[in-house]
Amino acid sequence: MHSYKPGCSSIRSARMQRETHIVTLMIHKYCQNHHHQQKTLCSACSMLLRYALARLEHCPFQEKKSTCAQCPIHCYSPNKRQQIKEVMRYAGPRLIWTHPWLGLMHLVNGWRQPRRKT
């Protein structure tokens, strides 16, 4: 199982760790409800999670980033971008009910304008 544990990532900032946690929760929720997986991810969702975590780790904005949907840089390949959009459309609204604080923070971060690292 590829699950996120706070503090176990090479990503150092709290903001990026929260983003990592959110994308992990969303992919797990999507896989659980669409691919009927309970504790582990199916192979497609597992690959998407690894890809998303790698993209977050190499994000040029890091702690100053908005949500990926608002980002001026499209670092996802077109296929993966479509997959993550589908996951987020499904799991994003449900995040509010299962993890209200993370859901609220993700919503607020969506309003941010991304700024370059200084």
Lowest mean pLDDT among 22-26, 80-84, 93-97: 93-97
Q: Indicate if the pLDDT at residue 100 is higher than 90.
A: no
| Confidence (pLDDT) at 71 | 76
Instruction: Write out the two tokens for 70.
Output: 């608002």
Confidence category of residue 92, pLDDT binned at 50, 70, 90:
confident
User: Would you tell me the crossing angle of helices 78-98 and 100-110 to the nearest 10 degrees?
Assistant: 130
CA angle 35, 41, 42 (to 5 degrees): 55
Phi, psi of 110 (to 5 degrees): -70, -20
Q: Indicate if the pLDDT at residue 59 is higher than 90.
A: no
Residue 80 CA to residue 113 CA, distance in Å, equals 23
Q: In terms of residues, how long is the chain?
A: 118
Cβ neighbours for 34, distance < 8 A, ≥ 6 positions apart: 90
Give the mean model confidence (pLDDT) for residues 103-117: 63
Instruction: Write out the two tokens for 72.
Output: 């001026």
Give the mean model confidence (pLDDT) for residues 57-75: 78
Report yes or no: 3 and 39 within 8 Å, Cβ to Cβ.
no
Residue 21 CA to residue 106 CA, distance in Å, equals 11
Cβ neighbours for 89, distance < 8 A, ≥ 6 positions apart: none
